[in-house]
Amino acid sequence: MTATKTAPEWTADELAELAELQARNEALPADAPRGLLSVRLSILTEDTTSPARQELDLRRHAIREGIRVVGVARDLGVSATKKAPWERKELGDWLNNRIPEFDLILFWKLDRFIRRISDLHEVIKWCEKFGKNLASLNDPLDLSSPMAQAMVTFVAAVAEIEAANTRTRVSSHWEYTKQQDQWRIGKPSFGYKTAKVGGKLRLVQNPKQARAVRYMYQAAMRGVPANRTAKVLDRAKVPTYSNGKWNNQQVLRILRNPAVKGLRTEGGTMSATYKSTPVLDKKGQEIRVTDEPILTDAEFESVQAALSTRAKNKRHHEKNRRPTRFLGVMKHQCGRNVSETNSYKALSTGEVKEYRYLRCPECRKPGFVIPDPEHVYSSLAQAVFEALGDFEVVRREYARGDENRRERKRLEESIAYYMTGLEPGGRFDKAGFIREKAEATQEALMADYAKIDPESTKDRWVYESTGMTYSQHWNAGGVEAMEKDLLSAGITFELGKQGNGELLGQLIIPHDVKKRLIKMDDSWS
48 has a pLDDT exceeding 60? no
**pLDDT(173) > 90:** no
In a domain, 174, yes or no: no
Question: Does the structure show a pLDDT above 50 at 2?
Answer: no
Structural element, H or E, at residue 379: helix 373-388
327 and 446 both lie in a single domain: no
Q: Is 163 helix (H, G, I), strand (E, B) or coil?
A: helix
Q: What is the C-alpha radius of gyration for the chain, rounded to an integer number of angstroms?
A: 32
Q: Within a domain: residue 2?
A: no
Specify whether 426 is located in the same domain as 281: no
- How far lies 219's CA from each of 58, 222, 230, 307, in Å? 58, 5, 10, 11
| Residue 281 contacts residue 266 (beta carbons within 8 Å) | no
416 residue type, one letter: A
Q: Is 311's pLDDT higher than 60?
A: yes
Q: Do 325 and 340 form a contact (C-beta atoms < 8 A)? A: yes
Tell whether 492 and 405 lie within a shared domain: no
Residue 440 has pLDDT above 90, yes or no: yes
The tens digit of pLDDT for each residue in 279-303 reads 776 676 777 878 888 999 899 999 8
Whether residues 370 and 491 fall in one domain: yes
d(CA 307, CA 386): 48
Are residues 148 and 288 both part of a single domain? no
Is 6 part of a structural domain of the chain? no
* Average pLDDT estimate for 414-435: 89
Letter string b/e over residues 351-374, b meaning 16 or more CB atoms within 10 A of that residue's CB: eeeeeeebbbeeeeeeebebeebe
Task: Kindly state the average pLDDT of the residues 490-494.
Answer: 95
- pLDDT over 90 at 272, yes or no: no
203-212 long-range contacts, CB within 8 A, separation 24+? 203/262, 203/289, 203/290, 203/292, 204/290, 204/292, 205/290, 205/292, 205/294, 208/238, 209/238, 210/294, 212/236, 212/238
Q: What is the pLDDT of residues 445-485, one digit of tens each?
A: 999 999 999 999 989 999 999 999 999 999 999 999 999 99
Is the pLDDT confidence value at 46 over 60? Answer: no
CATH of the domain at 155: 3.40.50.1390
Q: Which residues contact 87 (CB under 8 A, 6 or more apart)?
A: none
22 and 109 inside one domain: yes
The H-or-E segment that residue 361 falls in is strand 352-364
Decide if 252 is inside a domain: yes
Residue 70's contacts (CB-CB under 8 Å, 6 or more residues apart) are: 34, 35, 36, 101, 102
Number of domains in the chain: 4
Percent of the chain past pLDDT 70, that is, above it, reads: 81
pLDDT of residue 453: 92
User: Are 73 and 83 found together in one domain?
Assistant: yes
Alpha-carbon span 339 to 403, nearest angstrom: 52
Of 321, 365, 383, nearest to 507 (Cα)? 383
Do 29 and 108 belong to one domain? yes
Residue 234 sits in the same domain as residue 346? no
Percentage of the residues of the chain whose pLDDT score is greater than 90: 40
- The whole-angstrom distance between residue 489's C-alpha and the CA centroid of its chain comes to 17
Model pTM? 0.64
The burial of 94, by beta-carbon neighbours within 10 Å (0-12 exposed, 13-18 middle, 19 or more buried), is given as buried
For residue 430, tell me if it sits in a domain.
Answer: yes
Do the domain assignments include residue 181? no
